[in-house]
Structure 1
Amino acid sequence: MPAPTFAALSLTELVFIRARDQPNDVAIYTGIDEPGDLLRPLTYALRSFDVLHKFYERGSRYLEVQRGVDRLCAHYANLGLLPAVEENGLPPERTIAVLTSTAIDESLLEIALVKLGLAPLLLSVNNSVPAVAHLCKITKSSHLIYGYKFHAEAQEAQKILSQQDYQLEIVPERRFPLWGPDGAANAKIEPFSAVLQPIDETGRTAVILHSSGSTGFPKPVYITHLAMIANVAGFVAKPGFSALPVYHGFGHYCVFRCYYAGVPFSLFPPHLPLTSANVCKAIKAVPVPCPLFFAVPYVIKLLGETEEGVKALADFESITFAGAALPDELGDRLTAAGVNINAIYGTTETGSLIKSTRNFAIDKAWNWLRMEGPIADYMVMEDRGSGTFESVVKDGWPAKIQSNRPDGSYATKDLFIRHPKHHNWYKYIGRLDDTLVLVLGEKTNPVPIELAIRGNSPYVEEAIVFGDGRPQVGCLILPSELGKDLSKDRDAFLKRIWPIVEDANAQAPTHSRILPEMIYILDYGTPIPQATKMSILRPACYAKFKDIIESVYDRFENGTGVNKLDLSRPELEDFILNALTQTLGQLKATRLTRTSDLFAFGVDSLQATRIRNICQKEVELNGATLGQNVVYENPSVEKFSYQHHHRGLY
């Protein structure tokens, strides 16, 4: 079959073409933390959005994008990042790691590093410092560019690597104004010539993303310019809205899918808490018709909890999600409410593969992915028994950048079931390996956490981490012979092993950390399903302890079986402050007041979930259930207590 052709050979050429052909068209709408419109435009040359009054009055045009990129190129070119040119007249490939808050600025930095002939490694801010160090070393990064919030993490990663005789230079990130007198449209910016020609870039690494690895650390995925262009080329040429981080595989490609098509892309202002109300406000502020919505299941679930959110979803032409499975019950309910859900399945290593795109008016099978079009010639479903199939991508698929078989194909380890009537329809059901996919789309490898707990405490015989399809992970602990008597007192046993759990948490990304409330102590001597090599049989363990795991989440999320406290408003404020102290630690909580903005204070999503669950568990709510995002939606002790007593939080 003929090789596909594309509008550009590389990311650098794509940005150049858009600035040349559509200089005054808006490329990006986004928001920044300053007074003004919530969303502002960046043209293909460069515009964007502001904060909360009116989201998107301005945007970045394609020409402004290019000018903003050129300004970044000039800045970083003088900092010693570029390697010397070799005898062939080209510089060798060099990796530059990036650890910064997600924003359109990170995408501009990515483009600038690529224009300098470098390969940016986009690090998730959820990574532990050891994981950051590992990724920098394994990708042979020479420098780490860090955002102002991550100075300490950058220094610690540098220290870890220096102890391994690996030199990593750390460089503070520079963010120039996007708008205003010093913005890209008005500032004096000299054009910056690309270090490489498009023909020389095609087979080189454009960007390095990372996914979860079997060793416990994330593994890098090298994406060439050709693979990246192939991945974004075949997408619907319609404007889209995203509430995803731009270092996330799906979120990263969403930016450039719209860019390739030459249509506006709207990014949720990243300085705002991710609440249903804020997402709805951002959607309403988009100043142009925006038919497509890009999300992970968590965001869809968030919007699906409110009437306003469901209406906002239903107003889009389609809701495209990837990264994790969407619960059938939620998808069915939203479909019945008029929401057009389009599931996409793919991997970082292969790009997008199959989807549930269809005639939404007559076909409601949103969760069945169709193997149709060009991918049908490159993808096979291999029988894995019991009615399950593993997806395998054959060599030759343009977006595939890794192989793990001698014939050049890539076996994904993702399992599907086949539709009983439509033999090219498949539904994703899970993984062949041990990886847990949380509802946010983040992945947790349970093995290193289990090893850290089991291997470092003589009181623990076995540890089993669970959490697939859930908002956070938990752990079953089987006491050892030494711990059998102590385990009869849960609090005493947990206190004894908790320092070991904390050490395991310190090595894990934030979404994989275990809260004390999510630990269940099994009775000593409880039989654990094991393989002949004495490793646990994970699916059998989850099946055997299903009821226990359900009870852990029920108590954690709903507080069942606990005598509730009927509190006055002052008493509730004291209770919430105490819950914050438990969660944040005494030292950090000393600076907290009743009016402190918890989001600005640094309360992350896991901590917010814990505070919400403490309140749900212990406070009398008259049978009501707190919203999952109640802390961010009422982000101070004072607002939380006021809403509870005067309006209700449910």
Structure 2
Amino acid sequence: MAPSALSPLRPLAVLSSKTQTNSLTATVTTHELCSCHSNPHTIDELIRSRSKDTPHEHILSYPVVGTEYIDYTFRQLDVFASRVARIYASLMPQRTCSSDTEIVVGLLGPSNLEYFISILALTKLGHSVLFLSTRLSTPAYSSLLQATAAKHILVHNSFRETAEQLQYELPALQVHEISNRKNFEYPIGDAVEKTRFDQNLDPEAESTKIAWIIHSSGSTGLPKPIFQTHRAALRNYSSNLNLKGFITLPLYHAHGISSVFRAIHSKKHIYMYNADLPLTQQHLLRTLHRYDFQVFYGVPYALKLLGESEEGIAALAKLEVVMFGGSACPDSLGDRLVQNGVNLISHYGTTETGQLMTSAREPGDKAWDYVRLPQAFKQFVSFEPKGADVYELVALEGLPSKVASNREDGSYATKDLFTPHPSIPDAWKYLARSDDTIVLMNGEKVTPIAFEQSVRDSKYISEAVVFGSGKARIGMIIIPAPITSGKSIGEIENMIIPVLAEANKLMPAYAQLSSDMVRILPHDTDYPRTDKGTVIRPAFYRAFDTQIADIYDSVELCSGELCLSQSELRYYLRNAMSKLLSPSTMNLLDDTTDFFSIGVDSLQAIQLRSVLGKNIDTGGKKLTSNVIFDFPSINLLAGELYRLRTGGISTICSTTSQMQELVEKYSTFENHIPIDTPKNGQFIVLTGATGSLGAHLASQLSLNPDVKRIYCLVRAKSTSQARLRVVNSLRERGLYHLLSSAARFKLTAIPANFSQQYLGLQQDTYTKISSEITTLIHCAWSVNFNLALSSFEADCIAGAHNLLALCLKAGKLEPATFNFCSSVSAVAATKGGFVPEALPESFDFAQSMGYAQSKLVTEHICMNAAKSHGIKARILRVGQVIADTVHGIWNATEAIPLMIQAGSTIGAIPRLDESPLWLPVDVVASTVSEISLSTAGAGVMNVVNHQSFHWTQDLLPALHKAGLQFSEPSQQEWIQMLRKSNPDPATNPPIKLLEFFASKYDNGKPKKGLVYDTSYARFLSPSLAAASKLDQQLVDKFVQRFRDTSWTASPSANPTKTVIFIAGPCGAGKSTIAQAISQQLNISCIEGDSVHSPNSITKMASGTPLSDHDRWEWLEMLKATALLRMHAENQACIIVTCSALRQSYRAELRNSRVYKSLFVMLEAKKEVLVSRIQRREGHFMGDSMVKSQLEVLEAPGIDETDVVPVDVSGSEEEVLEEVVGILESVVF
């Protein structure tokens, strides 16, 4: 059970691990008397009666953050609604007499707790609630408001712009903001809070007043309002499953609001999905695993998400009922769920008729897709024949839940078409709507009527028909008017482009029509239509099914003829994106910006892919359906398009020639000028510190007492940005928090551009570094396996030449040593199977991709520099680098982790006859460091493990022992399984590398591994010599790490709120820094000292150290105060000052499922701290506390990766810049 919402003692029920209480309930000792009946007359009376009868019973739960639910009682809902009602009563007049006309109030916003409380509040005031879908167009909102005579609308902040447009169109409309949680969600004390507002209203009369106005989908044009009285609503809610539920449906839909009130009516607890979260498998599973439900309510899309994994299906199978509605569930999905034990029940009902049928059935009956007509409804429902075995459902006059009629006899024709079960009586399968509504693949509904009518209004068009049911997006067939006779298709297209653009304004974003989905037929094309000339849609679809299929097929084909270079492709892509995005969004886009980070949606991604397929020459290769998702930036996408076109053009001969030319071009250097200077330690230039290997090198080198300075050359726009990138790189690898102040002081980050002769450095900086440098370790390289060799020249190959030149300018007797981290891919095609520690015999021995070829080119350049100028150029040819041995951190997007993840996403990892030579990244870093700091001369060292393991015999069993359950198909079978698996890379990341995997494993040939000579490397490096083969302990670590951080198939707590603890001993400046950050980032700040008890303050003022009991009490209060403030202010982040000196204290502060923590640990020498304390006036802490706190202070432990140490010896501005930079990159 989730914690209770509020209590007088502990708002938000923030409980520490030491408090063994699952929930707290608000204490109410007196109740307001109300005239509530067993059969309530109104919605408000229902709420008040439940509040009176069972005030402390939990009835509704809603997350305070993420999937961390708070339980609310009947009493709390009643009181919360009354508090909001008083606010709204000041904005719109309360009804005081039943003869008063109801005031219609529109409600527009996400279906969150504030939304639901607003519903209850409006009913207390006697008003009618007009539910407005968040997906309508502005004209639709305007139409509904006018049709219902609504003069007020409550809106969420996210719809402020829409509200302003409506107010412009409807000047009399009054716009108000939906009341937020801080206005009602605070403790309920002992005093009576008035919750009844209808004392002057006649209950019987009120029961016939309009409670809700729920609109239709607008299947025949604009949506129409449907009115429901209190009596009709309550009668509808009295029919329920009487089960504890979890609902993902929005409350502005009839099924959604009905499900919640059915739970209230039956006193069965219901959980509402967090409206701030996207509907994902991870969030759904996290909720289903954590809380105990009996019934799940959702749309088929939610079932699709859960049905994509065994874990999701198992979660559904545990429930007593899984009920869906809103659109049809695909037969294949429903069958799969039912076959795996899910009690899947289809719900059928309409806003106009209420719930009519479900597919609830006896055990053993597998016909989940046939809804059953209850005996009690038979006399009120008719199925009228509309064709062979096709019937339309009609709700007859007298049906208790019916609230609308569209026939003279009082009946309501639903326009929903069904077919009967061949053998089960009164069982009906839903077929389609007769009113033309199109339901897309994701369940979104498209109403094409207004769109088509708008297009038909053009004099150039006779008929326009939208299609797309079950597809990702809509299309349109256009039959032009006779006046276009003699015009070409291109000319007609130019005529109708403005028409389509104008019509698109009537459609929501997900239903926009793109030009590539339009097919223009001859003007004299015959098509199915009635005597009145109205198109017969089903017949039209059948008549033109071939053309419709061709349209969808054509957007999958790549027929473009534009043959562009990468720079031209980038220009083309920028232009294409400008046509899809608004000018303000385009301002956020540069060549490296992630498309989806600036709001590009799936429809725009599909449209861009289609444009590229039609116009860009891709060498006859098909663009994958997820190409925009897999390459989500202009640079990445341009590289992929270029690779597709050029991949099969280059020959080995031409590449070999190009490699030789590059070696010759970059093998010329100036001579080194010896300078006799005293030796005073190692001064190292390191590139690639923002990568995994580089970060481990920076960490290890900084801890080496012989190393005095490490210059980290980083691609960045400024020194502060360069430093921030290095800090974040070390932090992400779990390294930065373990560095002492002295070690961190050695690291100097400098922005650089390797392609420039002097590396983009200021002249004085270049001169200083060249005078000091003793060793250069070059790890940085562009890791893009799709680029051709030429793409690596400017930055990588020329960059290596410029770095070698820096070594030759060293102000020492000898050039600085140059240590190049090459790759085994440079020799992956070696003939004979044995790779010596030497340059390969041929350029052909490099793997056939630009990355590997560029590495081999640079190896030759290094050796040429060694021969001609005597520089100690060491080539460290690194093999497969895997997770570190301490934390098990491994980039989850690399090929091998994705293969392992396939064990979860598709339930299979292939059997491979391979014997890998993996090395943990920290072992590789030790090896590189030891060789680089050695006295060894120039040469080649193979940095690979000399002890192999077998993929199938060793790794797969170890993965099983680590807790993974998967089958072990052959490599070809695995590729076929991957091809047939979920194509969405968000839920099935391995699919992103399908083509890469297929190129390696879609054959029956075992991969023959190479044997590497490592004798010289092991001689120089004790770490490499001692390296062991892969063991179970490391496998356990990286599997657990993947589960905790990357694999959505194994959901774990992922709080969205963050508490930033500004920590450190007294005198470190916690308060000063915290307040400055608070102002700069606009985040609330809690001064930790203000939360101390009076007794603790007295102790500290007298110089008496606090006891552990004092500190534990303080820590609990800090956590509670932080959560309360975030909740009250609706903030995702807050700053708290707190010394957090001991590891156990920090462990207690981070022990929360509701928030994640970040500790900014301010550090300074003792004398600095004492000096600062002595300058303070009126503070209760004396300088004696500095010694006490420094004695208590414990350095961060290995696993305390959320601690970021910051030296505060510099100016306040410097410290603030560093801290803000860290927070902006880590938290925001």
Tell me the TM-score normalized by structure 2: 0.45
Letter in structure 2 aligned against 1:191: K
Q: Structure 1 residue 62 and structure 2 residue 54: aligned?
A: no
Q: Is the 8 A contact 2:481 2:523 kept in 1?
A: yes
Distance 1:275 1:494 in 2: 40
Select 2:341's aligned residue among 335, 338, 341: 338
Q: What pairs up with 1:39-188 in 2 under 5 angstroms?
A: 49-52=63-66, 55-82=67-94, 85=96, 90-162=99-171, 167-177=172-182, 183=186, 185=188
Give the secondary-structure state (helix, strand or coil) at the position aligned to 1:134. Answer: helix
CA deviation after TM superposition for structure 1 residue 78, in Å: 0.5
Q: Secondary structure at the match of 1:50?
A: strand
| Cα separation, 2, equivalents of 1:552 and 1:321 | 32
> What are the superposed Cα offsets for residues 208-261 of structure 1, whole Å, 9 maximum, x if unpaired?
110134651100010111111122211111111122211122122122121211
**For residues 203 and 81 of structure 1, what CA distance do their matches in structure 2 show?**
20
Say which structure is richer in helix.
Answer: 2
Cα distance in 2, alignment partners of residues 68 and 621 from structure 1: 63
Matches within 5 A, 1:259-408: 259-285=264-290, 287=291, 289-359=292-362, 361-408=363-410
Query: Shift in Å at residue 472 of structure 1?
Result: 3.3
Shift of 1:132: 0.6
Q: Secondary structure at the match of 1:218?
A: coil
Compared with structure 1, are the counterparts of its residues 634 and 143 closer, same or farther at alpha carbon in structure 2 (3 Å cutoff)?
A: farther
Please point out which of 43, 48, 55 is paired with 1:23. Answer: 55
Greater shift after overlay, 407-416 or 112-121? 407-416
Secondary structure of 1:551's aligned partner: helix
- For 1:573 and 1:335, locate their aligned partners in 2 and report how far apart those are by CA, in whole Å: 49
The one of 421, 424, 427 equivalent to 2:426 is 424
* Shift in Å, 1:112: 0.9
Task: Please report how far the alpha carbon of residue 203 of structure 1 lies from its aligned counterpart in structure 2 after TM superposition.
Answer: 1.0
Change in CA separation of 1:373 and 1:624 when aligned onto 2, cut-off 3 Å? farther
Deviations 1:457-476 (Å, cap 9, x if unpaired)?
x4433211112344432211
Secondary structure of 1:330 counterpart:
helix
Alpha carbons 1:177, 1:184 under 8 Å: kept? no
1:583 matched to 2:580? The reply is yes
Aligned equivalents of 1:326, 1:620: Cα separation in 2: 39
Sequence identity (%): 33
SS of residue in 1 equivalent to 2:289? helix
Q: 1:276 to 1:63 in 2, by over 3 A?
A: same
* Local SS of the residue matching 2:507: coil
Residues 596-605 or 328-337, more deviating: 596-605
CA change 1:504–1:14 in 2 (3 A) is: same
> Partner letter of residue 342 of structure 1?
I
The residue matched to 1:338 in structure 2 has which SS?
coil
The alignment status of 1:206 with 2:220, answered yes or no, reads no
- Contact 2:585 / 2:598 at 8 angstroms: preserved in 1? no
Q: State the alpha-carbon separation in 1 of the partners of residues 93 and 634 from structure 2.
A: 46
Give the structure, 1 or 2, with the largest relative contact order (CA under 8 Å, sep 6 or more): 1
Q: Which residue of 2 aligns with 1:221?
A: 226
Q: Deviations over 1:473-500 (max 9, x none)?
A: 22112234455666534xx754553332
Q: Quote the residue 2:714 is aligned against.
A: none
Supply the AA of the counterpart residue of 2:478: I
Contact kept? 2:559, 2:613, Cα under 8 Å: no
Amino acid at match of 1:585: S
Q: Distance in 2 between matches of 1:251 and 1:616?
A: 41
Q: Residue deviations 1:113-145, cap 9 Å, x none?
A: 111000010111111111111100000101122
How far residue 596 of structure 1 moved from its aligned partner, in angstroms, is: 7.6
Tell me how far 1:351 sits from its aligned partner. Answer: 0.5
Q: 1:465 to 1:280 in 2, by over 3 A?
A: same
| CA–CA separation in structure 1 for the residues paired with 2:274 and 2:74 | 19
Letter in 2 for 1:268: Y
SS in 2 for 1:141: coil
Distance in 1 separating the partners of 2:570 and 2:243: 47
Q: 1:535 to 1:75 in 2, by over 3 A?
A: same
Structure showing greater Rg: 2
CA distance in 1 between partners of 2:215 and 2:475 (Å)? 24
Structure 1 residues 536, 407: CA separation in 2 closer, same or farther (over 3 Å shift)? closer
Report which stretch shifted further, 597-606 or 429-438.
597-606
Quick one: structure 1 residues 65 and 581, their matched pair in 2 at CA, closer, same or farther if it must change by over 3 Å? farther
Counterpart code for 1:51:
V
Q: Secondary structure at the match of 1:121?
A: strand
Contact 2:246 2:297 in 1 (8 A): yes
Asked whether the 8 Å contact 2:325–2:347 carries over to 1, the reply is: yes
**Matches of 1:239 and 1:615, distance apart in 2:** 50
Q: Does the C-alpha gap of structure 1 residues 560 and 337 become closer, same or farther in structure 2, counting only changes over 3 Å?
A: farther
Is contact 2:114-2:178 (8 Å) kept?
A: no
Contact persistence 2:516–2:610 (CA under 8 A) = no
Letter in 1 for 2:252: Y
Specify every segment of 5 or more residues in structure 1 that has no aligned partner in the other structure, as ranges: 31-48
Instruction: Provide closer, same or farther for how the CA distance between residues 172 and 311 of structure 1 changes in structure 2, counting only shifts above 3 A.
Output: same
Letter in 1 for 2:506: Q
- Give CA deviations for 1:173-208 in whole Å, capped at 9, x if unaligned: 2212389xx536579994232234543321111111
Within 1, Cα distance between the matches of 2:568 and 2:188?
53
Q: Deviations over 1:61-118 (max 9, x none)?
A: 22211121111101000013435x45xx543212111122232321211111111000
- The more displaced of 515-524 and 168-177 is 515-524
Q: Which residues of 2 match residues 524-543 of structure 1 at below 5 A?
A: 524-543=523-542
Alpha-carbon distance, 1:362 to partner:
0.8
Q: Report the residue type matching 1:13 in the other structure.
A: E
How far the C-alpha of 1:607 sits from its partner, in A, is 4.3
CA displacement, residues 408-442 of structure 1 (integer Å, 9 cap, x when unaligned) = 32221211111221231111112233333445555
Deviation at residue 318 of structure 1 after TM alignment: 2.2
Judge conservation of contact 1:97–1:141 (CA < 8 Å) in 2.
yes
Q: Count matched residues.
A: 607
In the alignment, what sits opposite 1:14?
46
Distance in 1, matches of 2:521 and 2:71, equals: 56
**Equivalent residue in structure 2 for 1:449, among 448, 451, 463:** 451
Secondary structure of 1:416's counterpart equals strand
In 2, the alpha carbon distance for the partners of 1:336 and 1:637 equals 45
Question: Which amino acid in 2 is paired with 1:175?
Answer: N
Q: Which stretch shifts more, 302-311 or 327-336?
A: 302-311
Query: Which moved further from structure 2: 312-321 or 342-351?
Result: 312-321
**5+ unaligned residues in a row in structure 2: which ranges?**
1-36, 641-890, 899-988, 992-1228
3-state SS of the aligned residue for 1:392?
A: strand
Amino acid of the structure 2 residue aligned with 1:216: G
The change in CA–CA distance for 1:229 and 1:638 in structure 2 (over 3 A counts) is: farther
How high is the TM-score relative to the length of structure 1? 0.82
